[in-house]
Amino acid sequence: MTNRFDPAASDSRWQERWDAADSFRADSASPKPKSYVLEMFPYPSGRIHMGHVRNYTMGDVLARYRRMQGFEVLHPMGWDAFGMPAENAAMEKKVHPGDWTRQNIATMRAQLKRLGFALDWSRELATCEPDYYGHEQALFLDLFEAGLVYRKESEVNWDPVDMTVLANEQVIDGRGWRSGALVERRKLSQWFLKITDFAEELLDGLKTLDDWPDKVRLMQENWIGKSRGLQFRFKRAEGGGEIEVFTTRPDTIFGASFVAISPGHPIAEALGAERADVAEFIARCRQGGTTAAEIETAEKLGFDTGLEVVHPLDPEWRLPVWIANFVLMDYGTGALFGVPAHDGRDFEFATKYGLPIRRVVAPSVGEANAAVTEAEIGAGVAVNSRFLDGLATPEATAEIIRRAEADGWGEGKTQYRLRDWGVSRQRYWGAPIPIIHCEGCGAVPVPREQLPVVLPEDVSFDVPGNPLDRHDAWRQVPCPQCSGSALRETDTLDTFVDSSWYFIRFASQPSDKPFDRAEAEAWLPVGQYIGGVEHAILHLLYARFWTRALERIGRLGMAEPFKGLFTQGMVTHETYRAGDGSWLSPGEVRRDGDDWIHIESGQPVTTGRVEKMSKSKKNVVDPDAIIDRYGADAVRWFMLSDSPPERDLEWSIGGIEGAARFVQRVWRLAASVDSGGSGSDAAIERKLHKSIAALGEAIEALQFNKAVATIYELVNAIEKAKPSATRDEAIRTLVKLVSPMAPHLAEEAWAMMGGKGLLVDAEWPSHDPALLIDDEVTVAVQVNGKLRETLTVPRGSPRDELERQALAAEKVARLIGDASPRKLIVVPDRLVNIVL
C-alpha cells in the first residue's frame, strides 16, 4: 500500500486494462437497453484544448454512469476532418492537407487516450477518408434523385487578385485576407439542398424537443423566421408588368409612400443594363462585405428610378419606385413598399430623401392627426385608411388580406427567413460532389458503382484557387450517359454536410452502404448530445434537416436525431499583456502580491478580461502539461467542479490543485479501509444513501458541479466518522460513486481494497429510500417572518406540539411579550411563523 495515488503509473495501467477487456465496445446486438451518448466530434486542428477536455469529460461521466446502470452504451469518437485550416496549412507550410490532418488526428487521439475516456475506438471515423465521404456522396445522390438538390446562381466573395473564392472569415474589412484586394461579389452556379421544404416541420419539431435548452430552440425558431403577411402586386404605371411585394403589415397599406426594390431585382438589373447612372448606383450597393455587421452599419442608399406604380386600392394613386441598398433579393420578393410612419428603416429612408410620412396607425381614433416624430411600429387602430379606419391592427390586417384575395390583387402568405442550404465550396479539402457535367446531357450523377469519387492526392497549393480545377487527369471523364467527353464537378461539399450524418454512421458502419437502417434505429436518436453553443443554429439545424430528409426518402424512421441536447460553456482564462501591448502566456508571468510581473524582464504586466482560451490571446493551457503534472483524474475532476456546466469555467491553478488534493483524499480514505473498525454507524449510512440519491439526480441532470459538491460532502462526513463496518462499506461505495469522474483513481483504489474485477463493470450503487428520511427534523421558528429560533423535533410532530414548543422558546417568548399572536403559520417539519 502506498501513501499517495500515483497517476503517472496508474493512468496508463487502467487504460490498458480497459482496452484489453474491450470494456467500451458497444454491441449493437446486446439485449440490454441502449444509451447513445455523444459529444460533438472535434476538428483536428492540431492539439486538444481545454474546451475539448471539458466537453468530453462531461459526456464521459454520463457514459460511464449509464454503463454502470446496466445500459449498453454507445460512446464514439471521430474527426470532422475536412475544412479550410488544412488548406491554409498546405499553403503556409507546404504540407499536403491530408498529411497535416492525419498527423493532427494521431496527435489528438493520443491526447484523448491519456484522459481515459470510455470511448468505443473501434467505431472511430474521419470524414476525410473515402470510406466515409463515399457514403456521403451516395446519400447526396439519394437526395438528388428525390428532388431535394438543385442548382442555382448565387453570390460569393471573390478575390480578384488571388482569383479565388473567399469565405466570410477570409474577408477582413472588405478585403481579401491574403491579397488585400477589395472583394467583389460574383455569381456562381452552385448546388443547394432544399431545407426550406422542411421549414414548417423543422419549426414544429422544436416543440417535441423537451430535452433541449429553451435558448437553442428559440434561436432556431428565430432563424427559421416564420411570418404571416400579404403578398401582392403593384401595377407599373407605365403599363406592362408588375412589382410583387411581401409585407407583414398589410394594415399599413394606406401609409405607403414609395416602393423599394433590391439592387439585384430584375427590374433594377434591366434598368442598369440601359442606364449608366443606374448601373453605377447598383455597383455602389455591391461594395463592401456581405456580413451582417457590415450591412447593419452601412448608410442607407436610395436611387429614384423615375418609374412609378399604381396603388392597388386607388388607381389615381402613384408611388415612386426606388432602388435601395437595404432591400434583400433573397428574402420575400426582393421588393417592398415603404411606410415611413410605422417602420424604423423606412422612416430613416423617407427622412433622408424627403418622401411623405403619413400616419395610418394611432393609439386611438382621436389621435389620427398626431404628428409622427419617430417610427411607431407597435399595434393600434387604423386611421387615415379609408375602409380600415377604426379597426385594431389584427383586424385591419385580416380585412385587407380578405379584400386582396377577393379582388384578386394579392394573397395571404407565410414567409420564412430560412434560405436553402448552399453546399458548394470551391475548395480541394472536402468531399467531391459526385456530379459530371456534360455539354449534351447536363449535370449527370456519378453512377453508384463508381463511388467513391476519391480526391486526387497529387495536387499543389502553390497557386491560389481550387487545385481540382487545374487537375485535368482527374476532371476529364467520359459522360456516364452519352460517353462523350465531360468534366467532373470540382466543387466539394460544405463540411456541415459531413457533420449532418456522422452520428448515424457511428451507430452503424457497414462497408457497402452508409448505414444499416435497423442497426441505426436501434441506437438513435442520440440520447444525450453535448457540445458548444456555437453550433446552436447551423450544425444542429442541418443535422435535423438531414435526418428528416432521410426519413422522407424512406431511409430512416425518425424525425429528430438528438433527443437530449446540452450546450456547455467555454473554458476561459485571464489574459496578460506586456507594456508594449503584446500578449503574454500564463507561463510567462507570475504573481507578485496583488500585481503580476513578466518573469523574464521583471516588468509589470496588465491583466485583461477573462476570455475564451485562444492562441491569439496566448491564454491557453495545454492539457498534456497539466496531465503530466496532476494526472488525468485531477483534470477531469476540475473540469466538472465549481462552474455550472452551461456556464464558462475559468481555468485556475488553484482549482486544479484543489482537484489534485481531492484525488489524494479519496485515496487516503481507501487506504484506511478495514483498519479495525467494526459495528454500525447510522449517521454515515444515512449520509451515504442520501449522497447516492443526490448524485444520481445531479448526473442525470448534467449538474456536475452539484455532483462534485455531493461527493465532497460525503467525503467530509466519512473523514470525520469513527472507524466502523459502516464506514468501511461507505468508502467502498464512495469509490464506485467517484468512478465516472475519476476512473483511474477508482480502479486503483478498488484493486487496493481487494475489490473483484474491474470497477468499470461494477453496478451503480442503489439507495434505500427509507434512509433518505431523517427521524428528527429541524424546524425554523419565525416571528413576523424573521428567524428567531430553531427546534429539533421528531419527524411528523403534530401542529399543536410545534406551536407549543415555538411559543415556549425563550427568545420567542421575549419577543412576543404581552402581545398575543394574530396568526400562527405552521408548515409541518419545516417552520412555525408567529405573526404579531
Nearest to 257 by CA among 183, 169, 338, 314: 338
Q: Which is nearer to RNA, 551 or 648 (CB)?
A: 648
Among 77, 336, 507, 762, binds RNA (CB under 7 A): 336
Residues from 533 through 592 that contact RNA (CB under 7 A): 533, 537
Q: Which is nearer to RNA, 141 or 336 (CB)?
A: 336
340 binds RNA (CB under 7 A): no
Report the nearest approach of RNA to the CB of residue 710 (Å).
8
Among 95, 279, 328, 368, binds RNA (CB under 7 A): 328
| Cβ–Cβ under 8 Å, residues 428 and 467 | yes
Read off φ and ψ for residue 566, nearest 5 degrees.
Answer: -135, 130
Among 163, 787, 808, 813, binds RNA (CB under 7 A): 787
- Do the bridges between strand 421-422 and strand 424-425 make them parallel or antiparallel, or are there none, so unpaired? unpaired
Among 185, 517, 552, 706, binds RNA (CB under 7 A): 706
Among 15, 257, 305, 325, binds RNA (CB under 7 A): 325
DSSP codes, 224-256: H--EEEEEEEEEETTSS-EEEEEES-GGGGGG-
| Cβ–Cβ under 8 Å, residues 126 and 81 | yes
Report the nearest approach of RNA to the CB of residue 301 (Å).
7
Report the nearest approach of RNA to the CB of residue 473 (Å).
40
What one-character DSSP code corresponds to residue 174?
Answer: T
Report the nearest approach of RNA to the CB of residue 241 (Å).
19
Residues 6+ apart with CB under 8 A from 524: 36, 503, 504, 507, 556, 558, 561
Rounded distance, CA 424 to CA 793, Å?
Answer: 72
* Binding mask of the shown chain, residues 755 to 784, with x at each position contacting RNA by CB under 7 A: -----------------------x-x-x-x
Among 644, 723, 821, 828, binds RNA (CB under 7 A): 644
Only one of the segments 304-312, 339-347, 549-557, 754-762 lies at the binding site for RNA (rule: CB under 7 A); that segment is 339-347
| Cβ–Cβ under 8 Å, residues 556 and 517 | yes
300 binds RNA (CB under 7 A): yes
What one-character DSSP code corresponds to residue 392?
Answer: B
- Reported as half-sphere exposure (CB side, CA atoms, 13 A), residue 806 has a value of 29
283 binds RNA (CB under 7 A): no
Report the nearest approach of RNA to the CB of residue 477 (Å).
38
Only one of the segments 103-111, 334-342, 489-497, 759-767 lies at the binding site for RNA (rule: CB under 7 A); that segment is 334-342
Residues 6+ apart with CB under 8 A from 276: none
Q: Which is nearer to RNA, 218 or 454 (CB)?
A: 218
Report the nearest approach of RNA to the CB of residue 79 (Å).
24
350 binds RNA (CB under 7 A): no
Rounded distance, CA 638 to CA 567, Å?
Answer: 18
Q: Which is nearer to RNA, 469 or 713 (CB)?
A: 713
311 binds RNA (CB under 7 A): no
603 binds RNA (CB under 7 A): no
Q: Which is nearer to RNA, 75 or 690 (CB)?
A: 690
Judged by CB under 7 A, how many residues of this single chain contact RNA? 82
Among 153, 210, 274, 296, binds RNA (CB under 7 A): 296
| Cβ–Cβ under 8 Å, residues 655 and 577 | no
Q: Which is nearer to RNA, 62 or 656 (CB)?
A: 656
Among 334, 410, 527, 564, binds RNA (CB under 7 A): 334
Report the nearest approach of RNA to the CB of residue 721 (Å).
11
Report the nearest approach of RNA to the CB of residue 314 (Å).
19
Report the nearest approach of RNA to the CB of residue 817 (Å).
13
705 binds RNA (CB under 7 A): yes
Dihedral through CA 248, CA 250, CA 251, CA 253, nearest 10? 130
* CA angle (770, 771, 773) in 5-degree steps: 80
Q: Which is nearer to RNA, 405 or 648 (CB)?
A: 648
Residues from 240 through 269 that contact RNA (CB under 7 A): 246-249, 262
Residues from 668 through 697 that contact RNA (CB under 7 A): 668
Rounded distance, CA 517 to CA 555, Å?
Answer: 7
Instruction: Give buried/exposed letters for 640-677 (b at 16+ CB in 10 A, else e).
Output: bbbbebeebbbbbeebbeebbebbeebbebbbbbeeeb
| Distances 755 to 715, 732, 758 between C-alpha atoms, Å | 20, 9, 8
Amino acid present at 120: D
Task: Match 460511464 to its residue by C-alpha cell.
Answer: 64
Residues from 788 through 817 that contact RNA (CB under 7 A): 790, 811
Nearest to 319 by CA among 351, 356, 353, 285: 356
Residues from 502 through 541 that contact RNA (CB under 7 A): 533, 537
664 binds RNA (CB under 7 A): yes
| Cβ–Cβ under 8 Å, residues 19 and 12 | no
Q: Which is nearer to RNA, 97 or 320 (CB)?
A: 320
Rounded distance, CA 124 to CA 505, Å?
Answer: 10
Q: Which is nearer to RNA, 421 or 515 (CB)?
A: 421
Read off φ and ψ for residue 463, nearest 5 degrees.
Answer: -115, 140
594 binds RNA (CB under 7 A): no
Nearest to 748 by CA among 816, 645, 659, 664: 664
Sheet-wide strand order for 823-827: 786-794, 776-783, 831-835, 823-827
What one-character DSSP code corresponds to residue 787?
Answer: E
Q: Which is nearer to RNA, 625 or 836 (CB)?
A: 836
Among 661, 722, 799, 804, binds RNA (CB under 7 A): 661
**Helix residue ranges per DSSP H, 23-78:** 50-68
Report the nearest approach of RNA to the CB of residue 697 (Å).
10
Among 676, 785, 819, 820, binds RNA (CB under 7 A): 785
Rounded distance, CA 18 to CA 36, Å?
Answer: 19
Nearest to 245 by CA among 259, 257, 227: 259
Q: Which is nearer to RNA, 128 or 335 (CB)?
A: 335
Among 399, 521, 642, 803, binds RNA (CB under 7 A): 642
Residues from 191 through 230 that contact RNA (CB under 7 A): 214-215, 218-219, 222, 225, 227, 229
Only one of the segments 58-66, 512-520, 577-585, 660-668 lies at the binding site for RNA (rule: CB under 7 A); that segment is 660-668
Nearest to 635 by CA among 643, 623, 650, 647: 623
Report the nearest approach of RNA to the CB of residue 664 (Å).
6
719 binds RNA (CB under 7 A): yes
Only one of the segments 433-441, 477-485, 623-631, 654-662 lies at the binding site for RNA (rule: CB under 7 A); that segment is 654-662
Q: Which is nearer to RNA, 386 or 830 (CB)?
A: 830
Before 480, cis peptide (omega within 30)?
A: no
Report the nearest approach of RNA to the CB of residue 329 (Å).
7
Only one of the segments 50-58, 294-302, 435-443, 797-805 lies at the binding site for RNA (rule: CB under 7 A); that segment is 294-302
Instruction: Give buried/exposed letters for 695-726 (b at 16+ CB in 10 A, else e).
Output: bbebbeebbbbbbbbbbeebbebbeebebbeb
* Binding mask of the shown chain, residues 399 to 438, with x at each position contacting RNA by CB under 7 A: ----------------x-x---------------------
Before 31, cis peptide (omega within 30)?
A: no
Only one of the segments 109-117, 178-186, 680-688, 708-716 lies at the binding site for RNA (rule: CB under 7 A); that segment is 708-716
Report the nearest approach of RNA to the CB of residue 753 (Å).
19
Rounded distance, CA 427 to CA 91, Å?
Answer: 13
Rounded distance, CA 407 to CA 26, Å?
Answer: 64
Among 582, 720, 817, 818, binds RNA (CB under 7 A): 720
